Chains A and B, each alone.
Chain A
Amino acid sequence: MKFNRVFFFALVISLSILLTACGAAPATNWPGLATDGTHVYLADGQYIYNVLLSDGTEVTMQTADGPVPARFPIKADTKKSFFAVPALTSDGQLVIGSAAASDHTLFSIDPVSGAVKWTFLGLKSPWLAGALVLDNAIYAPAGDGKLYAFSLTGEKLWDFQAADHALWTAPVTDGKLIYLATLNHEVYAINPAGNKVWSFEFDNGIIGAPTIVDGTLFVGTLSGNLYAINAADGSQKWVKLLEGGIWGTPVTDGTNVYVGTVNGKVGKFYAVNASNGQVVWSKDDEGAIAAGPLLTADQVVYVTELGRIQSLDKSGAPKWQATIENAKLYTPPFLAGDVILIAPMNAKFLLAAYDLNGAQKWTFTAK
């Protein structure tokens, strides 16, 4: 009897561990990054970290128990998780929704103190996409397929049903309209009053946010089609099929559009003529390129799933590269001042800063 009881409990515990280890309870995704020019806000699981851009140290604040890291939340809460790109408002709010299975709150936080300014509780699904701040409104894509508009005080202004699937892509704007891509194969142009101006149906789902430059919207789909769409009326300018699926946001300098692809475990990086969609040059890569690249004045930087950071000049010639051991890189490289920020997954640290020549300046590890 004793053996049976022990055996039974061992079985139960084994099954529990195996099921839990399957990773379903907490949703996982790549980290989100934002900066106000002095601090870096890193949404990476249970916390939103507040890190000094100058040296990578975590900001602390005084409490009755002494100094504590200025994170949100201050104490770990397994019911909350954060992966979206934090949205920063002009009046000093940080807006982000919880991506956890059990807490679907949209928070407005004072990034200095971590105090909650307001919340929106009316959702039953996670927030995975970052919000857009335009003028005095916050536009937050939600897990219920709606785009919500809030005032800066948290009052809900309107909602727009864009999809019957969760929205994963941050909206973008040209200052006049809001452009929202969905996994339901569509991009919507919505005016600030919440009305649809136009929509365009694509051949597949869209994960990376569109890029808008000079009245043209560049959108990549999971089928590998790169589209140029007229932002004013939603008409198609051109489409180019690339090898592999496009998972990240394309970037453009007005001359070329730069984008990476995922083709199984490998990837390919492209420069495509922005005016006609012809491939200018391409580079095979041994790692999948899921994140959108970073464009600076003289280089384009992309990251791969194999933990490599690759810098090319605009003709496609390599400039420098760096590798983070054992890391997987899905978060787009992020330019903050004169450093490039990298938020790896599976690495020994949560954040690293590189100068524009590829030298590592600092790393941040949560204590």
Chain B
Amino acid sequence: MWDLLIVNPFTNMLLLIYAFVGNFGVAIILFTIFIRLLTHPIMAQQIKSSTAMQQLMASDEWLKIQEKYKGDKEKLAQEQMRIYSERGVSPFSSCLPTLIQFPILIGFYQSIVRAIGATPLQLLSLVRGIYPGLENITPAASLSSLIPIHSQFLWMNLGQPEGIKLSFLPFAIPVLAIIVGLTTFVQTKLTMQPSASPNDQSAQMNQMMGLYMPVLLFYFALNFASGLAVYFITSNLLGIAQYAALGKVNWNNLFSFGPAKKPEVKAKSGKRS
């Protein structure tokens, strides 16, 4: 079912783009743009929900109940739920879109690996998953035109982890993984939403994300097919562009290493907007 609904459509889409452009690296980049456009409404909703949560947490009403019921967690939770309900804000609405993106990420990764077909066995799996109608769209998408799929892009083999070997070094420099780590760090910093209180949970969560995500994605890029790293880098840059287009990039955060700064605009309090 997973293959049928996610991996096969992704793989065929990737192959179709490859058939048109003739370069697997460019195909990954274009497909990432397509996926980003497809998930843009989800992301916009996430940003909106996140902003609503930030405004709610900066409101006088919220701060008052934190103070008033700090010794009574049960009552505090009840009051928080009441405010969520009154303002039409769900505490999960900001993280749910992120979770929805994970299956896309995994499916995309699997489709890259499948489309490259790095061994005869993997090629057998690929050939079986190619839609028969694909070659009707363009003759370049026929099996004989697609095979072999050239996984070389710039200096890297997209089916292999990347690393540049220099004669005087005993190890390869993982250039792409470093770029993944840096772009993830920059994206996380730029898109981190400011918090009313550095002690609130979302601020701490954001801080953790800012620290761990670059390390995590660096690790993935280091160990998995470099096609995934190309996806990460493209996705990070597009993510920054999307936030910028929505006016949500927080440039002040880039060189600050504490929690995201408190918003300059005072949040509205009380009534539902």
Instruction: Chain B residues near A24: list those with CB within 8 A.
Output: 109, 113, 224-225, 228
Instruction: Tell me which residues from 140 to 191 in chain B have a Cβ below 8 Å from any Cβ of chain A.
Output: 143-144, 147-150, 152, 157, 160-161, 165
Contact B160 A125 (CB under 8 A): yes
Tell me if A98 counts as interface (CB < 8 A to partner B).
no
Question: How distant is B52 from chain A, measured CB to nearest CB, in Å?
Answer: 19
Interface 0/1 of A183-210, CB less than 8 Å to B: 1110000000000000000011101000
Q: Inside 8 A of A183's CB, which chain B residues have their CB? A: 147-148
Is the Cβ of B119 less than 8 Å from the Cβ of A222? no
Interface segment among B31-39, B208-216, B260-268: the answer is: B208-216
A83, B119: Cβ atoms closer than 8 Å: yes
Q: Does B120 contact A (CB under 8 A)?
A: yes
Contact with B120, one of A30, A101, A203 (Cβ below 8 angstroms): A30
> A164–B225 contact, CB under 8 A?
no
Residues 22-58 of A, flagged 1 when their CB comes within 8 A of B and 0 if not, give 1111011110000000000000000000000000000
- Does B201 contact A27, Cβ atoms closer than 8 Å? no
Question: CB of A178 within 8 A of chain B?
Answer: no
| Number of cross-chain contacts by CB at 8 Å | 103
Task: State whether A168 touches B120 (Cβ < 8 A).
Answer: yes
Distance in Å: Cβ of A209 to nearest Cβ of chain B: 12
Q: How large is the interface on B (under 10, 10 to 19, 20 to 34, 35 or more residues)?
A: 35 or more
CA distance A12 to B209 in the complex (A): 11
Question: Inside 8 A of A4's CB, which chain B residues have their CB?
Answer: 201, 204-205, 208
Interface residues of A in 86-138 (CB under 8 A from B): 99, 101-102, 124-126, 128
Chain B residues whose C-beta falls within 8 Å of the C-beta of A168 in the assembled complex: 119-120
For the complex, is A223 an interface residue (Cβ under 8 Å from B)?
Answer: yes
**Residues A22 and B201 in contact, CB atoms below 8 Å apart:** no
Contact of A19 among B106, B143, B147 (CB under 8 A): B106
Contacts of B205 in A (CB 8 A): 4, 8
B149 partner residues in chain A, CB cutoff 8 A: 165
B208–A222 touching, CB < 8 Å: no
CA distance in complex: A203, B147 (Å): 10
Q: Check if B21 is an interface residue, CB within 8 A of chain A.
A: no
Write the nearest CB–CB distance from B92 to chain A, whole angstroms.
11
A31–B65 alpha-carbon span in the complex (Å): 66
**How long is the Cα–Cα vector from A22 to B212 in the complex, in angstroms?**
22
B144:A25 contact, CB within 8 angstroms? no
**Are B113 and A23 in contact (CB-based, < 8 A)?**
yes
Q: Does A270 contact B (CB under 8 A)?
A: no
- Cβ contact within 8 Å between A1 and B113: no
Asked if B127 is at the interface of the complex by the 8 Å CB criterion, the answer is yes
The answer on a CB contact under 8 Å between A27 and B122 is: yes
A12 touches B216 (CB 8 A): yes
Please encode chain A, from 11 to 25, with 1 for each CB lying within 8 Å of some chain B CB and 0 for all others.
Answer: 110011011001111
Are A1 and B212 closer than 8 Å at their CB atoms?
Answer: no
Asked whether B128 lies within 8 Å of A264 as measured between CB atoms, the reply is: yes
**Bound complex: CA A229 to CA B144 (Å):** 20
Could you tell me the distance between the alpha carbons of A128 and B160 in the complex, rounded to whole angstroms? 14
- Is B102 an interface position by the 8 A CB rule? yes
A23 and B119 alpha carbons, distance in the complex (Å)? 12
Contact of B120 with A222 in the complex, beta carbons under 8 Å? no
- Closest chain-A Cβ to B132's Cβ sits at a distance in Å of 10
A29 and B143 contact, Cβ closer than 8 Å, known pairs A8-B208, A24-B113:
no
Question: With an 8 A cutoff between CB atoms, is A5 at the interface?
Answer: yes
Interface string of B188-224 (1 = CB under 8 A from A): 0000000000000100110011001000100010011
Contact of B144 with A223 in the complex, beta carbons under 8 Å: yes
B118 at the interface (CB under 8 A from A): yes
- CB atoms of B122 and A25 under 8 A apart: no
Name the contact of A22 in the complex, choosing from B106, B123, B208 (C-beta under 8 A).
B106
- Identify 20 new A-B residue pairs, CB closer than 8 A, beyond the known A16-B216, A330-B121: A4-B204, A11-B102, A18-B106, A22-B110, A24-B224, A24-B228, A27-B119, A27-B122, A28-B121, A28-B122, A29-B121, A30-B121, A125-B157, A128-B119, A128-B120, A164-B150, A166-B118, A185-B144, A223-B144, A264-B128
Question: Which residues in A have some Cβ–Cβ distance to B below 8 Å?
Answer: 1, 4-5, 8, 11-12, 15-16, 18-19, 22-25, 27-30, 83, 99, 101-102, 124-126, 128, 163-166, 168, 183-185, 203-205, 207, 222-223, 245, 247, 262, 264-265, 290, 330
11 A-B contact pairs sorted by A residue (CB < 8 Å): A4-B204, A12-B212, A12-B216, A15-B102, A16-B220, A24-B113, A25-B223, A29-B121, A168-B119, A205-B148, A245-B127
The 3 nearest A-B residue pairs measured at CB: A165-B148, A183-B148, A29-B119
